[in-house]
């Protein structure tokens, strides 16, 4: 439907290039304009209510109208609205947040470096890893290992580590020799009859073989999400992390835990590294760090990473990396208050209990003709959509079935995200039992509406 001339929709079409959007399609349909938020709900410019089942972009942990974060921002804005952290400068909120994060770390960490987005934090981790290799006199040790369907960001370097085709097609890749391995998705990647543990063993063996082929002395690090979020909420198979870490340790390869989505309660514990028994050298944090009220991200590094970097900065005379807003005082003040709320209100425990309820409710839909798999952990889940359960296939084009269900979900007051033919669920940590039930009910209606739209006889039950 054409936008009314001079309306907000028309002006958005005229002036705004949207991320992760088909620009030509946007000119045809225009935007959904979100006007306000309240708890787990957002409301569009016409007053229609939606359950935000993705917490914005996996990120608004405390809900959409937390006054304490507004007050924290206002208080800090009136005292010190901006200062930088270059050349030995600092301020109270950034010191407090760095200390807080080191104290929260599930494994020993040494220092925090602040950035403004998950992508910037990944870029920074990559640069620091290369810097460290040079400091150790190992200039050849630069290759990075990632998994297929991993998402590690969208900046020019982080985008190379992401392994989703749409984020690469028609863009130039600048990070050399990225080693990409099988996605740890048992439903899609396991061989017939292969158990989760056998699948995990095969993935570890593949990792070992790829390291040998590339040369162990040329590989610097593996970047990995505890649960692969944007690639489809891929929960790794049983024993996966134990076996993968054993291989990395054998070859002295650093492990970077990308906690951008998993961190601060999403997996039912404070960090995904805790949920899966991971012991990373670097942890990348963002999203629920500030509940995305302001752009915030950080990476924590252990002494194994910090000490060579510190020595090299002393040799060179400076660590020549940083951002204008690294450790911004208003952002760090809001993040501190956000973490206080998460702890005071036991939102990690709530995520665990509400996650169990959400997954149980979604699994009741497994008998639906369009549902192939329900997977998840904590308060994050995905529903794999299929037209043929036995063949595990969707419609003619990958992502077409997901787009159809997503369309009906939004029309029915549910904002989710179709990741190809998987629908994601990652609501705010504050969600209640009644709200979980309503969210799944709206999704069930969307499934039925999508099924009714498909030609009769085109859907094959198992």
Q: Mean pLDDT across the stretch 11-35?
A: 97
Contact indicator for 379, 265 with CB cutoff of 8 Å? yes
State the DSSP string of 56-90.
Answer: HHHT-TT-TT-HHHHHHHHHHHHH-S-----TT--
Beta carbons of 215 and 251 less than 8 angstroms apart: no
Map out the domains of the chain as residue ranges.
32-62+346-453, 68-344
Residue that the structure tokens 């029915």 belong to? 412
Return the pLDDT at 456.
Answer: 83
pLDDT at 315 over 60: yes
As a whole number of angstroms, the distance between CA 287 and CA 298 comes to 10
CA distance 57 to 261: 9
The number of beta carbons lying within 10 Å of the beta carbon of residue 306 is 18
What digits encode the pLDDT tens for the residues 330-343?
999 999 999 999 99
Residue pointed to by tokens 């039925």? 448
Model confidence band, residue 26 (pLDDT cutoffs 50, 70, 90): very high
pLDDT in tens, 238-276: 999 999 999 999 999 999 999 999 999 999 999 999 999
Query: Is a pLDDT exceeding 70 seen at residue 408?
Result: yes
Q: What are 23's strand-pairing partners? A: none
Q: Which residues of 30-52 are buried (b: 16+ CB within 10 A; e: fewer)?
A: bbeebeebebbbbebeeeeebbb
Give residue 4's pLDDT. Answer: 85
Per-residue pLDDT at 427: 98
Separation between Cα atoms, residue 211 and residue 191, nearest integer Å: 23
Asked whether the predicted pLDDT for residue 173 surpasses 90, the reply is no
Helices of type H across 152-302: 158-161, 186-189, 196-214, 240-250, 272-276
Percent of the chain scoring above 90 in pLDDT:
95
- pLDDT at residue 1 in the model: 53
Residue 434 clears pLDDT 80, i.e. is over it: yes
- The CATH code belonging to domain 32-62+346-453 is 3.90.1150.10
- Class of CATH domain 68-344: alpha beta
Q: What is the mean pLDDT of the segment spanning 165-180? A: 90
pLDDT of res. 396: 85
53-67 residue pLDDT tens: 999 999 999 999 999
pLDDT of 32 over the 70 cut: yes
Check residue 209 and give its pLDDT.
98
- Given the DSSP bridges, would you call strands 49-52 and 41-44 parallel, antiparallel or unpaired? antiparallel
Would you say 402 and 232 are in contact if contact means Cβ atoms under 8 Å apart?
no
Work out the average pLDDT over 156-171.
93
pLDDT at 177 over 90: no
**DSSP letters of 336-353?**
HHHHHHHHHTTHHHHHHH
Residue 2: the pLDDT is: 60
pLDDT at residue 293, rounded to an integer:
98
């Amino acid at each position: 439907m054409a936008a009314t001339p001079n309306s907000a929709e028309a002006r958005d079409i005229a002036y705004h290039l949207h991320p992760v959007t088909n620009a030509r399609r946007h000119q045809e349909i225009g935007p959904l304009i979100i006007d306000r938020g309240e708890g787990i709900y957002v409301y569009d410019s016409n007053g229609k209510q939606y359950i935000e089942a993705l917490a914005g972009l996996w990120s608004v942990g405390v809900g959409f109208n937390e006054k304490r974060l507004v007050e924290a921002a206002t208080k800090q804005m009136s005292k010190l609205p901006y200062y930088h952290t270059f050349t030995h400068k600092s301020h109270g909120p950034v010191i407090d947040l760095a200390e807080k994060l080191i104290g929260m770390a599930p494994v020993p960490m040494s220092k925090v470096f602040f950035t403004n987005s998950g992508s910037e934090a990944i870029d920074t981790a990559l640069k620091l890893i290369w810097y460290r290799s040079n400091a150790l006199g190992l200039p050849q040790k630069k290759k990075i290992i990632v998994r297929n369907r991993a998402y590690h960001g969208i900046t020019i370097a982080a985008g190379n580590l992401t392994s989703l085709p749409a984020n690469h097609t028609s863009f130039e890749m600048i990070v050399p020799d990225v080693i990409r391995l099988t996605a740890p998705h048992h439903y899609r990647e396991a061989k017939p009859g292969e158990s989760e543990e056998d699948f995990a063993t095969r993935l570890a063996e593949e990792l070992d073989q790829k390291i040998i082929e590339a040369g162990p002395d040329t590989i610097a690090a593996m970047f990995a999400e505890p649960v692969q979020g944007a690639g489809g909420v891929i929960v790794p198979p049983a024993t996966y992390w134990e076996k993968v870490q054993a291989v990395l340790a054998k070859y002295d390869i650093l492990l970077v835990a990308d906690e951008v989505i998993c961190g601060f309660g999403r997996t039912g514990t404070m960090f995904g590294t805790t949920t899966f028994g991971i012991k990373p050298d670097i942890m990348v944090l963002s999203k629920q760090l500030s509940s995305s009220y302001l752009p915030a991200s950080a990476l924590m590094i252990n002494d194994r990473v910090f000490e060579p970097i510190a020595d090299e900065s002393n040799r060179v005379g400076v660590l020549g990396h940083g951002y204008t807003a690294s450790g911004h005082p208003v952002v760090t003040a809001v993040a501190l208050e956000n973490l206080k709320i998460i702890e005071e209100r036991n939102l990690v425990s709530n995520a665990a209990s509400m996650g169990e309820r959400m997954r149980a409710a979604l699994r009741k839909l497994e008998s639906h003709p369009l549902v192939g798999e329900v997977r998840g952990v904590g308060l994050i889940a995905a529903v794999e959509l299929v037209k043929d359960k036995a063949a595990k296939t969707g419609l003619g084009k990958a992502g077409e079935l997901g787009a159809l269900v997503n369309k009906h979900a939004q029309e029915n007051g549910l904002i989710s995200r179709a990741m190809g033919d998987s629908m994601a669920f990652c609501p705010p940590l504050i969600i209640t039992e009644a709200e979980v039930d309503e969210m799944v009910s709206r999704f069930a209606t969307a499934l039925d509406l999508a099924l009714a739209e498909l030609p009769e006889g085109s859907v094959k039950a198992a």
